[in-house]
Chains A and B, each alone.
Chain A
Amino acid sequence: MAEFVQFAFAGLTIGAVYALVALGFTIIYNASDVVNFSQGEFVMLGGMTTVFLGLWGLPLPVAALGAIVVTVVVGLLLHRLAIEPARGASAVTLIIITIGASIFLRGLAQVVYDKQFHRLPSFSGDDPIRLLGASILPQSLWVLGGAVVIVTGLWAFMNRTLIGKALVATAANRLAAKLVGIDTSIIMALSFGLSAAIGAIAGLLITPITLTSYDAGTMLALKGFAAAMLGGMGNPIGAVVGGIVVGLLEAFSAGYISSSYKDAVAFIVILAVLFVAPNGLFGRAKVERV
């Protein structure tokens, strides 16, 4: 029983990160139909930048804030320099561009920072909390709590603020949004900035547990994508649910089956979803007009 709770908590914790990555994917995908492969790099940048700003002399809270700002700027630049100029390109072209961007960002981190693994101190210490016979890291609770705050904040933003509603409108029908006066270009930039911020915060939250390095982004992007696909591409609730499910599946298969193929779980999920139910758990099928 204790083992089960242990795995469950590990799964929920990492699942919360996947959920945040998936959420970032969803926000950008809804606003612009782009599958942003660099989503994982935002998480990496959040962690790595905090580490290095700290190493370069800034107190950690300031470094964390700085890291979020830097990542948001990177997200905005990505949109402005790589996505905007390629308007109207095919879905495959766009995903290749974002893959190029993710590799570029990885190379940048490698050069500006370094190739080592890095850790951040846990927010409230490392003394494990005992729960139902299992040992839970306090940082896990920070991750879960942080995820809940972000998801709630996002929900409030989308439903209670004007800009948030403009984002939702653009996602629903870009042309109609333009026609009612929404500057969709700004909305798309906003979606990139928002996703970058969410990714950076996720990076901050998880680095004390999983460490980070310049190439941590790829796997995160793929697993986040698996989660988004599982939940139904474009569905924010689906993204969160998908993230938790992928995280739990990973933790349980690592615990009960084999830990060396732990990373394979997400890919098997992707393939299973694509072949069995391409629209995911909550998605809707699209009809093509000829």
Chain B
Amino acid sequence: MSLLRVEGLKVAFGGVQALKGVSFTVEPGEVFSLIGPNGAGKTTLFNIVSGIYKADAGKVFVADQDVTGLEPHRLAARGLSRTFQNLQVFPRMTAAENVMVGRHLQESHNVLWHLLGLPSVQRDNRTSRARADDLLALVGLSDYADTDASAMPYGALKRLEIARALAAEPKLLLLDEPAAGCNAVETQELEEVIAEIARSGITVVLVEHDMKLVMRISRRIHVLNHGETLAEGPPDRIRLDPKVIEAYLGVHAAEVAA
């Protein structure tokens, strides 16, 4: 059983064909990376898989169930969670509250109970807060627990999104350029966090530009260029693939490598 399978995804925006028919499979427990030059369609693909865009053609399967076209919150209920390239934190809420929102599906939804402020609601609040504290500790943000997200530095916010995504207890975690804007130390810490996540059994799909991070952490890499698959395979093979080198560095570099 694959955890994520995309088949023949095609989407166009205006006159631009962003994805031209992309397919791949992600196995449970692996760290699978999606790379490619800017404009290759990686974030678009994430947006389709997480239900924010609808593809013009193609299917998405989570745990072998067809989830094509489902709303994002229904996908979350199927165990899918993600972070955003352009940060979508909740700036007016504290770090702890941001992560607590991540636990929404585990909390009660009875609005009447909420209005009445019953003890069960208070229990929900306490449990969510405790879990948020644990996750903030995991990503190293315990000091910011009661700080408004708007007052937190950029690098911290990237980790906050990961903590929030984890609060949803996902089976599948999509990370969209988590290392963007991070220095070497931060990237190292990020790598440890991702490894810890993978060790806990969560399948990770990573979109990244930081090649060292990608090569070290991925089991398999899928390369996109201009909305099409260029290559797929383990890091060692991808590193030497002439088509990949050409896409990133140009024809001459590919000739040199060959």
Contacts and interface: CB of A to CB of B under 8 A. Distances in A.
Q: Do A and B bind?
A: yes
Interface of A: 287, 290
B86 A287 contact: no
B13 A290 contact: no
A287 B13 contact: yes
Q: Which 5 pairs between the two chains have the least Cβ-Cβ distance?
A: A290-B52, A287-B13, A290-B47, A290-B84, A290-B86
A261 B43 CA distance: 50
Given A290-B84, A290-B86, A290-B88, 5 more contacts: A287-B13, A287-B14, A290-B43, A290-B47, A290-B52
Contacts, number: 8
8 contacts: A287-B13, A287-B14, A290-B43, A290-B47, A290-B52, A290-B84, A290-B86, A290-B88
Contacts of A287: 13-14
Nearest to A284: B14
B48 to A, nearest CB: 11
B21 to A, nearest CB: 21
A290 B47 CA distance: 8
A289 to B, nearest CB: 9
* B contacts with A: majority SS: loop
A287 B84 CA distance: 18
By DSSP majority rule, is chain A's interface helix, strand, loop, or mixed?
loop
Contacts of A290: 43, 47, 52, 84, 86, 88
A88 to B, nearest CB: 15
Interface in B15-69: 43, 47, 52
B249 to A, nearest CB: 28
B65 to A, nearest CB: 25
A276 to B, nearest CB: 20
B180 to A, nearest CB: 15
A122 B189 CA distance: 80
A287 B47 CA distance: 13
A287 B88 CA distance: 18
A287 B18 CA distance: 14
Contacts of B43: 290
Nearest to A287: B13
Contacts of B47: 290
A287 B43 CA distance: 15
Nearest to B52: A290
Nearest to B88: A290
A287 B52 CA distance: 12
Contacts of B84: 290
Contacts of B86: 290
B37 to A, nearest CB: 18
A252 B47 CA distance: 48
Contacts of B52: 290
A15 B174 CA distance: 53
B76 to A, nearest CB: 16
B31 to A, nearest CB: 24
Interface in B213-245: none
B233 to A, nearest CB: 29
Contacts of B88: 290
B47 to A, nearest CB: 6
A113 to B, nearest CB: 44
A290 B84 CA distance: 8
A287 B44 CA distance: 13
Nearest to B46: A290
Interface string B60-90: 0000000000000000000000001010100
Nearest to B85: A290
A284 to B, nearest CB: 10
A92 to B, nearest CB: 16
A287 B53 CA distance: 10
Nearest to B14: A287
Nearest to B13: A287
